[in-house]
């Protein structure tokens, strides 16, 4: 199968070639990485810059519901919130997308039609990814046919951790081919990859295989997005573009709940990858509760008062 990054075609010619490439990547200085992430997290922004950051963060959210109890009514309500997050203030930006299970993609697509808000659908036996490839591809086809603009797939972590890197690469290629015009986000589940070196290797596998985004996590395990693992992935997409000219997005997901958290991640983006990634087309937050805090903080900036408990919806 051909790679979407011709400059690295030799690296993906065989399992042994891919292994040599991945283990030839520079090792990650864990202490340095965490210190850099912590340092950037201390940056403070005020007034006009903070208002800009809040609106930017809202526009980057993939507003998400991925529960067994999801209903069409809940998805329609979430879609309405994505299109009009603050009914009192129509200047509030729309979110980037609504993210749902494949069986809810058609409901979301109908509710969001004409709004500009994308429909994102998790697929490939999310969140564990424990299914045969033909089942995963059928999952993707169903989601795209139902109207999904974006597919969030999970990698086979078992294959990755047992060193079957070419299997992971070829599976991403196959899923990408089924996406058609839909953009593909590749989820690594960083909390299960054990080491920063593994996160770097997974990032490069995803990028070599044609991912449009690389994504930290499903939000379904104990350790999800962190400043350090997101910083590492931002370095990867920066370096990949420098070598190939191809820009790839990054999506931290899980555990990002407050405006303060979101601002820290935006600083990471600006200082690591650069301003080109400060756009919903290239950076997303996978979140369900973050939007409410952003709305509360946005109103505080505009009115000088914190909102009451009934100001935002409980999703």
Task: Give the catalytic positions in this structure.
Answer: 152, 215, 251
Comparing C-alpha atoms, which of 250, 295, 251 is closest to residue 82? 295
Report which DSSP code applies to 8.
G
Contact in structure between 212 and 180 (CB atoms under 8 Å): no
Contact in structure between 101 and 121 (CB atoms under 8 Å): yes
**DSSP secondary structure string for all residues of 286-312:** EESSHHHHHHHHHHHHHHSSPPPTTSS
Report which DSSP code applies to 130.
-
260: number of Cβ within 10 Å: 11
Place of tokens 């697929």: 123
Angle 280-22-124 from CA coordinates, rounded to 5°: 50
Q: Cα(312)–Cα(86) distance, rounded to whole angstroms?
A: 8
Contact in structure between 247 and 237 (CB atoms under 8 Å): yes
Burial label for 59, CB within 10 Å (0-12, 13-18, 19+), is: middle
Two structure tokens written together for 254: 């899980």
């Amino acid at each position: 199968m051909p790679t979407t990054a011709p400059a690295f075609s030799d690296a993906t010619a065989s399992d042994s070639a891919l292994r040599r490439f991945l283990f030839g990547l520079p090792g990650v200085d864990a202490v340095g990485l965490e210190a850099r992430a912590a340092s950037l997290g201390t940056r403070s922004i005020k007034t006009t810059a903070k208002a800009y950051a809040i609106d930017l963060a809202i526009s980057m959210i993939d507003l998400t519901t991925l529960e067994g109890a999801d209903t069409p009514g809940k998805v329609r309500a979430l879609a309405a919130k994505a299109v009009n997050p603050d009914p009192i203030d129509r200047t509030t930006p729309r979110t980037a997308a609504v993210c749902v299970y494949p069986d809810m993609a058609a409901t979301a697509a109908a509710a969001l039609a004409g709004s500009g808000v994308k429909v994102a659908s998790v697929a490939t036996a999310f969140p564990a990814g424990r299914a045969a490839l033909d089942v995963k591809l059928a999952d993707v086809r169903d989601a795209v046919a139902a109207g999904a603009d974006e597919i969030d797939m999970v990698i086979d972590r078992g294959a990755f951790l047992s060193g079957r890197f070419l299997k992971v690469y070829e599976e991403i290629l196959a899923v990408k081919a089924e996406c058609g015009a839909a953009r593909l986000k590749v989820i690594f589940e960083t909390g299960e990859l054990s080491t920063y070196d593994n996160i770097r290797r997974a990032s490069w596998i995803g990028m070599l295989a044609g991912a449009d985004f690389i994504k930290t996590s499903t939000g379904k395990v104990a350790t999800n997005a962190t400043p350090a693992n997101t910083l590492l992935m931002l370095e990867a997409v920066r370096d990949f573009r420098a070598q190939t000219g191809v820009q790839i997005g990054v999506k931290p997901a899980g555990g990002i709940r407050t405006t303060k958290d979101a601002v820290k991640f935006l600083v990471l983006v600006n200082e690591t990858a650069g301003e080109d990634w400060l756009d919903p087309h290239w950076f997303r937050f996978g979140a369900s509760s973050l939007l409410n805090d952003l709305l509360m903080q946005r109103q505080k900036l505009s009115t000088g008062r914190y909102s009451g408990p009934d100001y935002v919806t409980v999703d």
